[in-house]
């Protein structure tokens, strides 16, 4: 069962961002599913790697969009991305070392799931509004 169900409140209106955000939630759900169902550690590793790699890909694409449109808060937004990538890779290393323990699963929920929702709803929406306002001018 999916833990994170997409809410239209999180839609930015930029198709690339929205489809990748949905994909991130799918990846997160797959990881939580693998952790909670006592799946083989192979499945936990696989879903962890996918989430970590997809996060890097998505942030790269989102950063390119910001550069393309000259988003003025690019540097501070990139810092948020860099900190989160570091958090995810450290968390992945912890889960690989200790297995999906209850505190680590909680860290996935609060540190990854809640962070993503907050980030999309506040920071990414600002980028989307900026891009949409620029696109109207051209
Ligand atoms: Fe972002």
Residue 35 burial (CB < 10 Å; 0-12/13-18/19+)? Answer: buried
Residue 38 phi, psi dihedral angles, 5° rounding: 55, 35
95 alpha carbon – ligand 1 mean position (Å): 24
Q: Is the model's pLDDT at 48 over the cut of 90?
A: yes
pTM of the model: 0.93
Q: Is the model's pLDDT at 138 over the cut of 70?
A: no
Q: What is the pLDDT of residue 61?
A: 98
Q: What is the pLDDT of residue 1?
A: 62
Contacts of 80 (CB under 8 A, 6+ apart): 119, 123
Q: What is the pLDDT of residue 18?
A: 97
CATH fold, domain 19-137, is: 1.20.120
Tell me the average pLDDT across 25-50: 90
Tell me the average pLDDT across 51-68: 97
Q: How far apart are CA 57 and CA 74, in angstroms?
A: 17
32 alpha carbon – ligand 1 mean position (Å): 22
119 alpha carbon – ligand 1 mean position (Å): 6
Residue 5 phi, psi dihedral angles, 5° rounding: -105, 130
As a whole number of Å, the CA-based R_g of the chain is 16
Give the pLDDT band of residue 41 (cuts 50, 70, 90).
confident
The ranges assigned to domains in the chain are 19-137
Q: What is the pLDDT of residue 135?
A: 81
Tell me the average pLDDT across 100-124: 96
């Amino acid at each position: 069962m999916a833990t994170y169900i997409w809410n239209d409140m999180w839609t930015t209106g930029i198709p690339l961002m929205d489809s990748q955000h949905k994909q991130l939630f799918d990846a997160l759900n797959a990881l939580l599913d693998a952790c909670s169902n006592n799946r083989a550690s192979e499945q936990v590793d696989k879903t962890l790697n996918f989430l970590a790699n997809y996060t890097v890909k998505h942030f790269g694409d989102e950063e390119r969009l910001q550069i393309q449109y000259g988003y003025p808060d690019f540097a501070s937004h990139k810092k948020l991305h860099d900190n989160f990538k570091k958090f995810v890779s450290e968390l992945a290393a912890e889960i690989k070392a200790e297995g999906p323990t209850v505190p680590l699963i909680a860290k996935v929920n609060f540190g990854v799931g809640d962070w993503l929702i907050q980030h999309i709803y506040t920071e990414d929406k600002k980028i989307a509004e900026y891009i949409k306002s620029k696109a109207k001018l051209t």
